[in-house]
Chain A
Amino acid sequence: ELKVEQNPLFLSMQEGKNYTIYCNYSTTSDRLYWYRQDPGKSLESLFVLLSNGAVKQEGRLMASLDTKARLSTLHITAAVHDLSATYFCAVDMTNTGNQFYFGTGTSLTVIP
């Protein structure tokens, strides 16, 4: 069974600071996704990473993928309060049908 681990689980950071969320997974995967979830809301797709070395950036968020290390990172640059949310990574195992395995999530709070 594929395991997906995120750390940290909780992150409190000041506005203007940088930080990285890590996502490790236990076996080879086709694709890796990052999602954002606001309290009481659904999941919003942020990034899709398809290959080793892939890097995607949107605003203050940048995601990268190292398939050899089975590691993805979500880097936050100069955090602002609007980035406060829970962030999930998910790994796609298409050779088993339609299986998505989610990490446990990182709850990010940006303090003014």
Chain B
Amino acid sequence: AQTVTQSQPEMSVQEAETVTLSCTYDTSESDYYLFWYKQPPSRQMILVIRQEAYKQQNATENRFSVNFQKAAKSFSLKISDSQLGDAAMYFCAPGGTSYGKLTFGQGTILTVHP
């Protein structure tokens, strides 16, 4: 079983600045994968970045990077050079190794100010 906690219901950032969204989780699995999805007002679910738990190196995808602390079960998302189009609800979602079932956190609403 997996549980996810996103402790920041809302965050805001100035355009071009950096913001970090936090996520902690608990899992009984020894190996797993972690994902961040964003949901803009259009309500689509868009994959932002993924991390393999067995890899120590933090994943990076353009302006998006993660700080993965396996022992602490922490998986934060850093957005650099924030853009207006980054405004959305962000969900952290660990997935098990059996078939990829995802457990979503409550989400963090990110507002980007021009």
Same complex origin of A and B: no
Interface, chain B (partner A; CB < 8 A)? none
